Amino acid sequence: MSKCLPGRRNTPATRHYGKCRSLLFLFFAVISSQFIYAQSTITGRILAADSALSGATVQVKGTTTATQTDDSGNFSINAAPNATLIISAVGFTPQEIRIDNRTVINVTLVSTATQLGEVVVVGYGTQRRQDVTGAVSSINAATIEKVPVNTIDQALQGRAAGVQVINNDARPGATVSVQIRGVGSLATNGNEPLYVVDGYPISGGLNNINPNDIASIDVLKDASAASIYGVRAANGVVIITTKRGRKDGIQVSLDASLSFQSEPKKYDVLNAQQFSALSSEVDRDSTQGSFTPLPEWSNPASLVSVDWQDALYRQGLKENYNLGIRGGTERVQTAFSVGYNGHKGIVEGSYFKRFNLGLNIDYTVAKWLKSSTSAKYARQDQNTPFGTGGLQQLTELIPTITGNKLTNLIKDGSGNYGFYNPINIYTKSWGNPLYTIENNDYVNRNNYFLANSSLEATILPGLRLKTNFGVNISDYSGYYFQPEDRRWDEQYGLGGANQDALYSQSANNNFEWLWENTISYTKAFGEHNIDVVAGISAQENTYRYISAQGNRQINNALRDVAQVQNLTA
């Protein structure tokens, strides 16, 4: 036992301890060797509709062991005889397969949104997927509802091949950029695709539509699929169909979701003492001229530190509430929805709120005549106190304040804020960011209304005439307010560092109408089909914009352009 426990006396206690340790080591060694030798090689092939599926992922459940299938759909992986394999691929329903001592496993995956028999929306009509020659990806309501999202754009992320969703802005309510098969050069709407909502083509993002109202999304990705829309479809087309009423009774759905957010990682920053020491060292070693540190910095122990991340960040909250009612009879079907989406950002003072209303009515006037109406309303409110880029101030703030001698450098109990010395070149003269958040406003308010009505008549078997009229109205108003501040005068007597009140306001209104008339003919000849569509479309857009700004507000408590003294438009 002395070899097992070197340097210890060979007492009964130590002999017993050494024996236990040896037995434990042997026990774990036996288990490890059994686990290692129990692994076996599993081979197989993954198929999709009788064809090889390359790039599918095969993973041992509960482990990080995984592999992918080759161009022929073959795979090879090491796993225990009683393990479970998870087979997954984009656009297919994942499957879990128990090995059960098998060494060869072949699996056929079922598509989630690309069944050959399903009907997809293409241009001004619908077709079976097996009859479509263009590149089309589809997403159904069940797929969207699996992961709560704030906008339809986000619902596309990772759910349609060839579609890239880019988050350019992390502010609550910010829109995302959608690119289909890369960047185009012919479209009039930048690199964004054309969106068609219940037959009405619109440009721009879709953060005003409630994702809970979506029945299906069809993405037309190539020229053959999107050619009917002309140059507007140069970057692809996203066709959105909302939920309609039903004939078999009334269905009521109510759902709610809450989620919390926090900053992923805090920066490791200097405290006041470390910063003053570093500043003094920079001053001593500087070759670009002398900088005299402030007198207070000569006594670092007296400085009060602050981590501005704690002052400006908070726990964020996302909330979604949706109520849907669908029902009807053989002749009339109705779908009504109301929804609320709220997002309290992780930066103090930032928020986004959206309220939605939706109504769809389908009415069979006669056997040969049908009508359909869709109406959607949305209101959005957004506040970003730092504006579009002011949060960069946070990375340039120093951990001590010398301009206002407060024990709490952020804000004291009397409502006084700590401020930097404006002549200190190390401070960037940013002032107190918490003051900016609690006193500045950067408010945007939007109202949207989209309505579309159609009348379809079956003149002869297979021959249909359809007329469609719709309006798209958007109304925006926003303002930026920066209150008057004379603290620099009070503390330093420096008139150049004063802050006059600043107020700017803008508004725009967009009214658009669309009238389309189409005639279509469909005829089947055995295994062949004829599908012809002809039509005419007229669309007009009227846009109005106005803005005004000025400084020297008469009353800081009022957010009104009429209170501004020096006004320019």
The residue count for the chain: 569
Q: Which helix (H) or strand (E) holds 333?
A: strand 332-344
Residue 518 above 80 pLDDT? yes
What is the per-residue pLDDT for 353?
94
What is the per-residue pLDDT for 429?
46
Q: Which CATH number fits domain 40-108: 3.30.360.10, 1.10.3720.10, 2.60.40.10, 3.90.850.10?
A: 2.60.40.10
What is the per-residue pLDDT for 15?
42
Higher pLDDT pick, 387 / 519: 519
Instruction: Give me the phi and psi of 324, to 5 degrees please.
Output: -130, 140
334-356 pLDDT, tens per residue?
999 999 999 998 888 889 999 99
Q: Which of 261, 279, 283 is nearest to 346 (CA)?
A: 261
Instruction: Give me the phi and psi of 433, to 5 degrees please.
Output: -65, -30
Q: Residues 23, 24, 30, 31: is their CA dihedral positive or negative? A: positive
What is the per-residue pLDDT for 12?
42
Is the separation of the CB atoms in 36 and 71 below 8 Å? no
Give CA–CA dist 496/30, Å, rounded. 80
* Three-state secondary structure call for residue 230: helix
DSSP 8-state assignment for residue 193: P
Q: Which of 496, 312, 492 is nearest to 420 (CA)?
A: 492
Confidence of residue 528 (pLDDT cuts 50, 70, 90): confident
Confidence of residue 132 (pLDDT cuts 50, 70, 90): low
489-513 pLDDT, tens per residue?
444 444 444 566 777 888 999 999 9
| The model scores a pTM over 0.85 | no
Query: What is the DSSP pairing of strand 104-108 with strand 40-48?
Result: parallel
% of the chain residues with pLDDT over 70:
68
182-206 pLDDT, tens per residue?
666 555 556 788 888 988 988 766 7
Residue 208 above 60 pLDDT? yes
Residue 61 above 80 pLDDT? yes
Confidence of residue 179 (pLDDT cuts 50, 70, 90): confident
* Overall average pLDDT of the 467-475 stretch: 94
What is the per-residue pLDDT for 5?
41
What is the per-residue pLDDT for 31?
35
What is the per-residue pLDDT for 540?
93
Give CA–CA dist 290/301, Å, rounded. 24
Higher pLDDT pick, 3 / 476: 476
C-alpha pair distances (Å), 293 with each of 281, 282, 285, 340, 410:
10, 10, 13, 53, 22
Q: Which CATH number fits domain 119-242: 1.10.3720.10, 3.40.50.1100, 2.170.130.10, 1.25.40.10?
A: 2.170.130.10
What is the per-residue pLDDT for 538?
92
Is the separation of the CB atoms in 64 and 50 below 8 Å? no
73-128 pLDDT, tens per residue?
899 999 988 899 988 876 678 888 999 989 999 998 887 654 444 555 556 655 55
C-alpha pair distances (Å), 204 with each of 174, 176, 201, 207, 515:
13, 10, 10, 9, 20
Confidence of residue 557 (pLDDT cuts 50, 70, 90): low
**Per-chain mean pLDDT for the chain:** 75
Q: Which of 199, 222, 306, 316 is nearest to 260 (CA)?
A: 316
Transcribe 130-149 into DSSP letters.
GG--S-EEEEEHHHHHHS--
Q: Which of 127, 109, 110, 131 is nearest to 119 (CA)?
A: 127
Q: Which three-class secondary structure string do you get for 527-541? A: CEEEEEEEEEEEEEE
Q: Which residues of 394-412 are buried (b: 16+ CB within 10 A; e: fewer)?
A: beebbbbbbbbebeebbbe
140-154, 285-299, 372-386, 544-558, range with greatest mean pLDDT: 372-386
Higher pLDDT pick, 541 / 559: 541
Residue 386 above 80 pLDDT? no
What is the per-residue pLDDT for 502?
77
* Overall average pLDDT of the 30-41 stretch: 49
C-alpha pair distances (Å), 389 with each of 170, 171, 172:
11, 10, 14
Residue 488 above 60 pLDDT? no
Q: Where are the domains of the chain?
A: 40-108, 119-242, 293-304+354-568
Higher pLDDT pick, 232 / 131: 232
292-320 pLDDT, tens per residue?
566 666 777 777 777 778 878 889 999 99
The answer to which of 263-277, 296-310, 374-388, 405-419 has the lowest mean pLDDT is: 405-419
Give CA–CA dist 317/350, Å, rounded. 11
Q: Which of 107, 12, 24 is nearest to 59 (CA)?
A: 107
